[in-house]
Structure 1
């Protein structure tokens, strides 16, 4: 898959911009703050319906406007698809596929396959667990778009359940509230089980690619790893009965590994039952704190480098290599899907080479140069490794400065 045309209206700094693209490597050059990242952010939004820079849509609208539009033409083999996303400030976003009638924005998920590398990726290692959960869920939705509904259902139920628990903390919890909480427990258990089951399968697919990618980027002296840690661990024993220790996972590394392996073997209905029991075991503490203490929203992806956690122990260079390896692992998982009927993803490297030493630049360039389409941004030409030969495009304030030679 590759992107042939990108058009933006009132998106970030652009009142209107049109960018023609082609397969292979395209480097967008321009001073810092000129708008290169805005172009890459728009492509990322087509793929994930979210920004890698901000948590809400409001900053994506050009200042003073109420609506932004992203239009793109994607080519896969002999087929082309036109996607349009309308980002609205005061009403739900809408989308169109091949200029048809408007659909829900999430109906386009999975059409544009993309892996984006950016300086913000440092948060995957150095940030809080929500960054790593988001990484897993965005990749999951790219691979299996129906899980967008799974995530949405879980977030909706979690919000309702937390509101009920807060009322209990305020001393307003009655027998009627208790019955209502039982109902929400069932809903949250079902949605949470589906999400956990999908995440565990994804981590299993991701791990060998992560190990390989980290080895490709470094001298191979340390092994990279990732271990999913569920909030179910430590709440229930191996038989699904209440265990000592409260609402957060504990115990030795060996015990945790055994618990995780047991969770991997369970079906969605079996995980649903585990969650229902875990909610019951944690109810007193949840009412005291006014929040849900068990569920996928409390889970963690522990990143490991050699014998130690990556967070807090990895050097700056090792941290960058781990972040890049996570993105490359995503790319390899998508390539696995492409071989069975999916689409090879577009690779975006947004101002990444300026952050790397010469050795890592060359290794990363050698890995990605064979992709169907690679889009790179840089402030200066010297940051681009010689291995990334291809088209150069100059970005200027508000647009593109390139003669049309095609």
Structure 2
């Protein structure tokens, strides 16, 4: 798989840009602040409907514009697919596949698959559990697009149930039967959708774990072995995750029981305290949790291993995902640079951003696209394709 053409309108710093791309390696090189990362971020957004830098769409819109448009032409097995995505803050995104309107923006998921490496990846190890949950959910969705619907349904239930709990908490001395009955209904919805989301994550981690272990060994052969596991407050999930068993009905039963036991605490706090939105992907080095114990180098190796593991899973299903390397070589030592460059060398397409030529890996011949300002352009950012 590779991107043949990328066009952006009013996306971040770009009022309008069009790039012709192709298989092999391409590097966007130029000073910081000129929009290199914005190009890769736009491609990642087309693959996942999310940014690796911000949690909302508003910053993606160029100042003064009402919406942004990302248009890509992707080639997979000699077949071209045009993907157009309109991003409007506060409204549902609109998408088109081969110029035909899609029912939902989620319909484009799976059409273009990519793996992104970026400096922000360090938060996968050092950040909050939400970073690791997002990593799992994005990868699960790339492999099985229907997971996006499961995730959206679950998040909607959590929002509705949280609002009800807040209302009940505000008047907890006079909770009537109608609130209890409504909570029972939302508990059922949460358990049903939550069980499906847990099952998707558990199945993914079961396949991902050996790939991460192998990737970490490649990156840091002298370090302690790496391991990952899914961590939930539900004891049934813990045991079954370890055995690689996915039991949606069992997860649903466990969630319903946890919700029953946890209701007094939830009513007291006015928060939804039970469900996969509280779970985590545990990263371990030897017998220690990586977060808080891993060195800077080890943390980078774990983060890269997670991305390399994702790449191998997607690649095993047929067709290389596009590799997006966002200024990541500048963050790595020689050993890790070589390991990542070796993976990039065998990818069908790799797109790299770099601020200075010294950051560009020499292990692979890369076509260069210079990003900067032409003389006389009055400060407008431009690209020079070579």
Q: Which residue of the partner structure matches residue 185 of structure 1?
A: 187
Q: Which residue of the partner structure matches residue 305 of structure 1?
A: 285
Q: How does 1:84-123 map to 2 (within 5 A)?
A: 84-123=84-123
Q: Which residue of the partner structure matches residue 134 of structure 1?
A: 134
Q: Alignment partner for residue 333 of structure 1, among 301, 307, 313?
A: 313
Show structure 2 runs of 5+ residues with no match: 374-380
Show structure 1 runs of 5+ residues with no match: 239-255
Q: Deviations over 1:244-273 (max 9, x none)?
A: xxxxxxxxxxxx9646447x5352122212
Confirm or deny: 8 A CA contact 1:14 1:62 kept in the other structure: yes
Structure 1 residues 167-176 or 274-283, which shifts more?
167-176
Q: TM-score, normalised on structure 2? A: 0.95
Q: Which residue of the partner structure matches residue 19 of structure 2?
A: 19
CA distance in 2, matches of 1:257, 1:70: 41
Q: Which residue of the partner structure matches residue 350 of structure 1?
A: 326
**CA displacement at 1:385 relative to structure 2:** 2.2
**CA displacement at 1:110 relative to structure 2:** 0.7
Confirm or deny: 8 A CA contact 2:57 2:87 kept in the other structure: yes
> SS state of the match for residue 82, structure 2?
strand
> SS state of the match for residue 62, structure 2?
coil
The answer to whether 1:44 aligns with 2:24 is no
Q: Which residue of the partner structure matches residue 304 of structure 2?
A: 324
> SS state of the match for residue 386, structure 1?
coil
Q: Which residue of the partner structure matches residue 399 of structure 1?
A: 382
CA distance in 2, matches of 1:205, 1:130: 21
Confirm or deny: 8 A CA contact 1:214 1:220 kept in the other structure: no
CA distance in 2, matches of 1:399, 1:193: 49
Q: Which residue of the partner structure matches residue 252 of structure 1?
A: none
Q: Deviations over 1:325-380 (max 9, x none)?
A: 10000000101211xxxx32000110000001122211211122100001111111
How many residues are treated as equivalent by the alignment?
A: 377
Structure 1 residues 293-302 or 219-228, which shifts more?
219-228
> SS state of the match for residue 32, structure 2?
coil
CA distance in 1, matches of 2:256, 2:223: 44
Q: Alignment partner for residue 292 of structure 1, among 266, 272, 289?
A: 272
> SS state of the match for residue 285, structure 1?
helix
Confirm or deny: 8 A CA contact 2:229 2:242 kept in the other structure: no
Confirm or deny: 8 A CA contact 1:29 1:381 kept in the other structure: yes
Q: Which residue of the partner structure matches residue 252 of structure 2?
A: 272
CA distance in 1, matches of 2:263, 2:6: 50
